[in-house]
Structure 1
């Protein structure tokens, strides 16, 4: 059984630093204003805190599953950092998990999620300043790019470092974002009326158009 020379857990400074970096980065591209915005951002922040607490602080999932894991994978040092990449252990993937297929896919999802947040914010901000409907940039292809961005980021982290708490939180948060999206659409429909109806008829809610946004050029 291999043991890390440095402790893999109890690194609370890393919990704080990593959580702060991701939460502040997300905040910089969402700028919550309404109660709806704060609920969305707060739920995402809770997910991030739960994730990094188990990644560097206290490995609750490892402790709860330690009996089953030690019986099934007796050669695995459960207190090593690599063991926290549970998908690799469960699926019997060899090699450094940081360079495995799941970690690379996780990185792509994280880049896509944060990229979508950063792309969406200036278009939403510009529309809000003009009291207009946001129909440019990612909003020309999908109605809720910020919610989709949050979901991609959470899915990416689940591929990289699954925990019981975040696995339970993920479907709950997705359901919450679906409800928030419906509430947001009701508000937009009251504010913009027929313009919003035309927008929703031409623009998917969750899965984006890959073609150009020609159908919305007149509303920009």
Structure 2
């Protein structure tokens, strides 16, 4: 890395990257209710915390600097590439942007945005007609958009793990779980037996393997 280019303190990039990813998520998720805004706000806070450490101030690196330097003295932990902790800890020799964890993170992030976008199209059409969303991704799981948010956050954890986002991640998992239960109670009041029949055959977050196999065979 060019020594004249600062590794951190790039607060403009913090703002830019946070805004871009939050805008993408907003355009796909389109929060409407207070509950939607709470879930979207928590996701946005995760992204801000992530990019703050990625481009602003590497709090995790500084906090773990003693342990990292003693166990990995060959690594210059002040460079930006060293923030890809998993690649560094597993001894990846090439550019961390082409490392296995970074590439895998891209798959999770891209898949997450796809679930949010595709799930919204189905949900919007169902809400417009006053119906229960049961087609598309909703035929496999009851909350594909929440699954999408989790995949994006997990992907970023693989790409750039930080202490703060590691703490936030299980909290957000719990939050989305509680929100999904609240939504289901409201859906049951609205749709009654139709919801009960749908919930009985459709998992909440994890699709059944036989359902995915059936789709592949079609």
The reply to whether TM is greater than 0.5 is: yes
Q: Please, which runs of 5 or more residues in structure 2 have no aligned partner?
A: none
Asked whether the equivalents of residues 3 and 77 of structure 1 are also in contact (C-alpha less than 8 Å), the reply is no
Superposition TM-score, scaled by structure 2 size: 0.94
Deviation at 1:4, TM superposition (A): 3.8
Map of 2:71 onto structure 1:
72
Q: In the alignment, is residue 174 of structure 1 matched against residue 144 of structure 2? A: no
Q: Please, which runs of 5 or more residues in structure 1 have no aligned partner?
A: 213-220
Map of 1:55 onto structure 2:
54
| Equivalences, count | 211
Asked whether the equivalents of residues 3 and 80 of structure 1 are also in contact (C-alpha less than 8 Å), the reply is no
State how far apart, in whole Å, the 2-side matches of 1:88 and 1:111 are. Answer: 20
SS in 2 for 1:10: coil
Deviation at 1:3, TM superposition (A): 6.9
Residues 20-99 of structure 1 aligned to structure 2 (within 5 Å): 20-99=19-98
State how far apart, in whole Å, the 1-side matches of 2:60 and 2:91 are. Answer: 18
Map of 1:8 onto structure 2:
7
State how far apart, in whole Å, the 1-side matches of 2:4 and 2:71 are. Answer: 24
State how far apart, in whole Å, the 2-side matches of 1:148 and 1:130 are. Answer: 24
Asked whether the equivalents of residues 11 and 57 of structure 1 are also in contact (C-alpha less than 8 Å), the reply is yes
Superposition TM-score, scaled by structure 1 size: 0.93
Q: String of CA shifts for 1:173-212, please: whole Å, max 9, x gaps.
A: 0011011111111110111100000101111111123134
SS in 2 for 1:29: helix
Map of 2:146 onto structure 1:
147
Map of 1:116 onto structure 2:
115
State how far apart, in whole Å, the 2-side matches of 1:57 and 1:137 are. Answer: 40
Q: String of CA shifts for 1:69-119, please: whole Å, max 9, x gaps.
A: 111111211111111001112222221111011111100001100011111
Map of 2:182 onto structure 1:
183
Deviation at 1:15, TM superposition (A): 0.4
Deviation at 1:5, TM superposition (A): 3.8
State how far apart, in whole Å, the 2-side matches of 1:100 and 1:4 are. Answer: 22
Map of 1:202 onto structure 2:
201
State how far apart, in whole Å, the 2-side matches of 1:101 and 1:30 are. Answer: 29
Q: String of CA shifts for 1:130-154, please: whole Å, max 9, x gaps.
A: 1111112111111000100000000
Structural RMSD (CA) = 1.2
State how far apart, in whole Å, the 2-side matches of 1:152 and 1:52 are. Answer: 17
SS in 1 for 2:64: helix
Asked whether the equivalents of residues 114 and 153 of structure 1 are also in contact (C-alpha less than 8 Å), the reply is yes
